[in-house]
Structure 1
Amino acid sequence: MTADKLLEAVAPLVADLGSGLPAEELYRRLLQSLRLLLPCDAAALLRLEDGSLLPLAVDGLSRDTLGRRFRIAEHPRFAALLGAAGPLRFPSDSALPDPYDGLVEGLHGDLPVHDCVGCPIQLHQRIWGLLTLDALQPDRFSRGDLAALQLFANLAAGIVTVAGRIEQLENRVALESLRAEGYRLAAAPRARELIGRSTAMRRLVADIETVAGSELSVLIQGETGVGKELVAEAIHAGSPRAARPMISLNCAALPETLVESELFGHVKGAFTGATSDRPGKFELADGGTLFLDEVGELSMPVQAKLLRVLQSGQLQRLGSDREHHVDVRLIAASNRDLADEVKAGRLRADFYHRLSAYPLRVPPLRERGRDVLLLSGFFLEENRSRLGIGAARLDASAQAALLAYDWPGNVRELEHLLGRSALKARARHPQRPRILSLTAEDLDLEGRRAEVAPAIEGADSADSATDAPRQGESLQQAVDALKRQRLLAALAAHGFNRAAAAQSLGLDRANLIRLAKRLGVALEPVK
C-alpha cells in the first residue's frame, strides 16, 4: 500500500468532516473508503453499549444486521477485539465462531476459512466500539493493512466527535443507567429501544426528544401493536424524572370497580377485600412518570377524579378523608381516536385536552418501509440466543415476503411471527444447525392473509348492508350498527375465538369484550 493510495482514501473523509453530513452518511462513507483501500467482502462499524455491540453502519452485510444487538458474552471474537490493544487479526483456522455467519451478502451457509481483522475505537481513553473487516480469501490482510485499519479507527473516532455523537452517547449511557434504576424501583422489566430509520420513525424520535425534557402531558395514539409503551418509556428515559420509576397501568385490563383503587389507593375496610392500606399508582409514581395505557377505557366518573389529580396534584385514597400530594407526569396511550370519543360523548373534553398537551402518533409498521428488516434482525438475534443456535438469518424470499406484507398486528405481530417461524424452522433439523435460515415458506404470510380475508369480506358485506341510513336513525346509532356488523362478522369468521377476532379488527381482546357487551353482541355462537 502506497502513501498516495492511503491519502486518496483518507482525504475525502477529512473533507466530509466539515460538510455537515448526517452521522449515518459519514459512517457509510468511512466504510466505503476503508473497503476501497483494503478490498474485502464485508465491513462494519459497531458501537459498544451496555454489554452489546450495536451496528451503526455495514457494507457487504445483509440489511437486517443493522437491527441486531450482539451480546459480547455470546460472541468471543468481539470480546477478543474489544480486549485488544490495537488491530487484531484472527488466524484463518480460528475455532472462534464468527458473528457474521449467515450475514455476508451473496453467501449462504457457514463462512468458509477466511481472513478476519478488527480494531477497537477509543474515545477519551474508553472503548467506544469496533471496526471489523472480513475477506473470504484467506491471508488477504497484511501487517501494513493493520496499520491502515488503526488509522481508520482513529478517523472513526474523529467522525464521531465532529458529528456530536460523544455527548449524545454519554447522555444515553447515563439515561440508560437511570432508566434501569427506575425499573428496579418499579419492579418492572427494562424496556427495549426503539428501532427504525424510516422517515416516519425519525419524525417520531425527533418529537420524543422535543417533549421528553418538558413536564407536558403526552398522549400517544396508534394502532394495536405499534409499540406505544416503548414510546412512553423513551419519553420517561429522556426526562429529568428518569431516576424515578415509571409506573404503568393498563386501564382496559381492570374491572371498573378496581380502577379507582389501582389509581388512587385505598385504606383498610374501604370495600370488601380491602384488608390493609394500599397506595395507588399515583403515589408509587411520585416524582416519576405514570403511564396509562388504553386511557379511553376509563369511565366518566373516573375521568373526573383523575382530572382533579392532574390539575391539583391532590388525591384521596378510597375510604379516606386524608389528602396526599403527588408530583407525577402523565403519559397516556390509546388505540382509539380520542377526539372522536369526545364527539361521541364517551370522553370528557376537558380530560382529553389535559391529556393531549403534546399528542404523538406512532406510525403503523406498514408505513415504515424497510424498518421491518431492521426489526426482524433484532428479533432474530433474540431468538438465536434462546434457541441456542449459532446464527439466524432471512433469505431473499423471506425478506421480500416481510416487505410485501401489510402487518395488521404491527411490530407485535412481527415479533410473534419470527419467534414462531424460528421455532418451526429449528424443529425441522434433527441436529441443532449452526445457521438457521428462514424462508418465505417458514413465515407463511400468505396463510395469514387467508385467515384474515373472511373477516374482511364479512366487514365489506356489513358495509354494504349499512351504507344507507335508516329512517329516523341518528349518526351514533348508524356507527354502532356498523360496529355491530363488523364485530359479528369477525367473530363468525374466527369461530368465535375472541383473541383471533380482536386481532383481525385491530383491537385488544379486553376491548373487544367490552365493545361486544356495550353493543349487545353475543360472544358465543347462537345454538
Structure 2
Amino acid sequence: MTHPLLLALEPLVADLSRDLPDEERYRRLLRSLRQLLPCDAVALLKLQGDVLVPLSVEGLSPDTLGRRFRLGEHPRLDIIMQNREPTRFSTDCELPDPYDGLVDGLHGQLQVHDCLGCPLFVQDQLWGLITLDSLDAARFGSVDLGNLQAFASLAAATVMASERIDLLARRFEDQRQLAEIYKRAAGSRGPRELIGQSTMHRRLQQEIQLVGNSPLSVLITGETGVGKELVAEAIHLQSPRAHKPLISLNCAALPELLVESELFGHVKGAFSGAISGRSGKFELADGGTIFLDEVGELPLAVQAKLLRVLQSGQIQRVGSDLEHRVDVRIIAATNRDLVEEVRAGRFRADLYHRLSVYPLLVPPLRERGRDVLLLAGYFLEENRVRMGLRGLRMSPEAQKLLLGYSWPGNVRELEHLISRAVLKALSRHRERPRILTIEPQALGLNEEVQPGAKTASPTAHALPATKPSAGLKEAVDGFQTQLINDALSRHQGKWADVARELNLDRANLSRLAKRLGIR
C-alpha cells in the first residue's frame, strides 16, 4: 500500500517540470497538503519585509488574499516563523488567531480548534510559511510532524520552480533597500502595493513591467479613484531610476499663477511674495521620475514650457534667464479625454503626443471582478489595526453586495466605504466585540447614488427664492452662488471640473467665488 506522504508528494514532483501559472501551482500545493493532512483551512503566505502576504488559501474567506499580516501583530504567526520545525498550538492556547472569523462557514471567533504551522525555507533563507486549521480540536494530535516537514521541503522546491517567485527572491534585497529609500523620503511609508488577481489586473501589471524598464514617457488614463498614482509608483520601481526620487505634483491642486513656479522653480523677486529662490519639481526629480497628476488641468502657457523641457531637457526658473539641464522621466495621469481636449483647443496636440508615447489605461474596479474582495480585505486589515480590534470580518451577504455594486468612485470609494462601515458596525455595540462583523446595512450601499443617475444641468435650476425687496444684483448673486455650490458638490470640490461644467475660465471662476464669499 502506497504511503500517504508519497501520494501527496507525487503530484508535486510531477508539477516541478511543468510550466504552470503561480496561482495554479500554489493551488495544487495546498490541495496536496490537504490530502496529506485533512483540515478545514490551509494557507500559503510569503514573507515580504516584515509582512506576511497570502498567496493562496483554501477554506478561508476570499478577502483573506487581500490582507497583510504584519509581524509583531499576530503572535501565532510570529511563533511559527521563529521555529524551524512545525509548530502545533494547544487547544487551550489563548493567543489570538489571525483567521478569527475568516474560516468558511464560521461566523464567530475560532473557539477550541487545532492549529498547525510550518515555516518554508528557500536556499536556507526564511521564505514564508504554511498554516493549517481544523475545527476538530483533536485533528492534528496523531500527525507525524516529520511528514509535514518533508512536505515543506518539497513545497520550497515548488516555490523555486516558479520563475516569477525566483525573480522575486533574487530581488528581495533590492526591494528592501528601495523600501528604506522611500521611508527616508516619506516618513514611514514604503512603496504601496497593487492588489488584485483578475485578468485585467494581471494585464496591467505586465504592462507596468514592460514599460518600467524603458525610458518612454507614460500617460496613465482612467477614471477617478482607480489608483493612477500607485501605477506611477510601480512603473518607477520597475525602472533603472528606482534608486532616484519620484516627485509628484497634482496639477489641479495649485492656483494657475503658481503652477509654473512649482514645476520649474523661481528666483528671488520673480513675483510678489518670492522672498527667496527655490527649486522646482523638475530639479528635485533630476535623475529620477516626475509624476504629473491631472496633467490635463495645466494652463496652455505652462503646457508650452513643459513641451520645451520634454524636447530639450532644459528648464528655466521663473524670473531667470539662465537655463538648467535636467534628466527626468515623465509619467503623467489624467481622468480627462485628452484627445477631445486637443480637439477643443484646451490641450496642445504636440504635448499630448510627447506625453503619450506609451498610453496605459487603468481599468475601473467594476471590470476587475473579485478583486473587490481582495481590496476589501486589505482595507479591513488596515482598519482592524487602526481601531485596535482583535478580529474584523465581512459577512458573506456583505461580500455579495460589494461584488454587485458598480463602484463609480472605484478603489478610493471602496477604501472610504470600508472605513465608514467599520465605524457604523462598532456603533451598534455597547462593548467592543472580540470579532467585529460587517453586515450589509453597515455598508450603506443602498443609500449611495448609483452611477448614471441624472443630475440637473446648470440651466435647469430655478432661481432661489428672494424677498420682494431684493434687487436684480442680489437675485443674480444668489443664483450664481447656488450654481457654484451645486457644481462643487457634484465634483467633490474640484474647481477645475466646476469651471469646465460652467464654461468659465478657472481664474474668472476663482475671482467670482471670492466675491460671492464661497472661496
- TM-score, scaled to structure 1: 0.88
Q: Give 1:515's aligned residue.
A: 500
Identity level (%): 58
Gaps in structure 2 of 5+ consecutive residues: 461-478
Q: Give 1:413's aligned residue.
A: 413
Question: For residues 205-224 of structure 1, what are the structure 2 equivalents within 5 Å?
Answer: 205-224=205-224
Is 2:412 the partner of 1:423?
Answer: no
Q: Give 2:169's aligned residue.
A: 169
Is 2:259 the partner of 1:259?
Answer: yes
Q: Give 2:311's aligned residue.
A: 311
CA distance, structure 2, for counterparts of residue 330 and residue 109 of structure 1: 50
Instruction: Give the C-alpha shift of residue 316 in structure 1.
Output: 1.1
Q: Give 2:490's aligned residue.
A: 501
Q: Give 1:117's aligned residue.
A: 116
Is 2:335 the partner of 1:346?
Answer: no
CA distance 1:417–1:313, change in 2 (3 Å): same
Q: Give 2:399's aligned residue.
A: 399
Q: Contact 1:43–1:58 (CA<8 Å) still a contact in 2?
A: yes
Give the letter aligned to residue 423 of structure 1. L
Aligned length: 490
Is 2:454 the partner of 1:456?
Answer: yes
User: 1 or 2, which has the higher helix percentage?
Assistant: 1
Instruction: Give the C-alpha shift of residue 306 in structure 1.
Output: 0.7
Q: Deviations over 1:359-410 (max 9, x none)?
A: 1000000110100000000000000001111111110110011011100000
CA distance 1:459–1:100, change in 2 (3 Å): farther
Question: For residues 129-278 of structure 1, what are the structure 2 equivalents within 5 Å?
Answer: 129-142=128-141, 144-164=143-163, 165-182=165-182, 184-185=184-185, 189-278=189-278
CA distance, structure 2, for counterparts of residue 90 and residue 497 of structure 1: 59
Instruction: Give the C-alpha shift of residue 323 in structure 1.
Output: 1.4
CA distance, structure 2, for counterparts of residue 291 and residue 154 of structure 1: 44
CA distance 1:189–1:53, change in 2 (3 Å): closer
Instruction: Give the C-alpha shift of residue 517 in structure 1.
Output: 5.2
Instruction: Give the C-alpha shift of residue 19 in structure 1.
Output: 1.8
Q: Contact 1:182–1:243 (CA<8 Å) still a contact in 2?
A: no
CA distance 1:187–1:114, change in 2 (3 Å): closer
CA distance, structure 2, for counterparts of residue 333 and residue 237 of structure 1: 17
Moved more, 225-234 or 146-155: 146-155
CA distance, structure 1, for counterparts of residue 194 and residue 458 of structure 2: 35
CA distance, structure 1, for counterparts of residue 140 and residue 365 of structure 2: 42
CA distance, structure 1, for counterparts of residue 172 and residue 212 of structure 2: 13
Q: Give 1:472's aligned residue.
A: none
Q: Contact 2:488–2:498 (CA<8 Å) still a contact in 1?
A: no
CA distance, structure 2, for counterparts of residue 124 and residue 172 of structure 1: 13
Q: Give 1:28's aligned residue.
A: 27
- Which 4+ stretches in 1 moved above 6 angstroms? 459-462, 520-525
Instruction: Give the C-alpha shift of residue 187 in structure 1.
Output: 6.4
Give the letter aligned to residue 511 of structure 1. A
CA distance 1:265–1:517, change in 2 (3 Å): farther
CA distance, structure 2, for counterparts of residue 268 and residue 155 of structure 1: 66
**SS of 1:276's equivalent?**
coil
CA distance, structure 1, for counterparts of residue 385 and residue 188 of structure 2: 22
CA distance, structure 2, for counterparts of residue 187 and residue 96 of structure 1: 32
CA distance 1:517–1:189, change in 2 (3 Å): farther
Q: Contact 2:182–2:191 (CA<8 Å) still a contact in 1?
A: no
Give the letter aligned to residue 315 of structure 1. I
Instruction: Give the C-alpha shift of residue 104 in structure 1.
Output: 0.1
CA distance 1:139–1:86, change in 2 (3 Å): same
Give the letter aligned to residue 40 of structure 1. C
Q: Give 1:469's aligned residue.
A: none
Instruction: Give the C-alpha shift of residue 177 in structure 1.
Output: 2.5
Q: Contact 1:218–1:358 (CA<8 Å) still a contact in 2?
A: yes
CA distance 1:168–1:294, change in 2 (3 Å): same
Question: For residues 367-386 of structure 1, what are the structure 2 equivalents within 5 Å?
Answer: 367-386=367-386
CA distance 1:87–1:369, change in 2 (3 Å): same
Give the letter aligned to residue 50 of structure 2. G
Q: Deviations over 1:437-468 (max 9, x none)?
A: 00111101011136x67x52646998xxxxxx
Give the letter aligned to residue 79 of structure 2. A
CA distance, structure 2, for counterparts of residue 136 and residue 417 of structure 1: 32
Is 2:330 the partner of 1:330?
Answer: yes
**SS of 1:518's equivalent?**
coil
CA distance, structure 2, for counterparts of residue 147 and residue 192 of structure 1: 38
**SS of 2:279's equivalent?**
coil
Give the letter aligned to residue 130 of structure 2. L
Gaps in structure 1 of 5+ consecutive residues: 463-487
Q: Give 1:365's aligned residue.
A: 365
| Cα RMSD, aligned residues only | 2.4
CA distance 1:172–1:449, change in 2 (3 Å): farther
- TM-score, scaled to structure 2: 0.90
Q: Deviations over 1:305-338 (max 9, x none)?
A: 1111111111111111221111111000000111
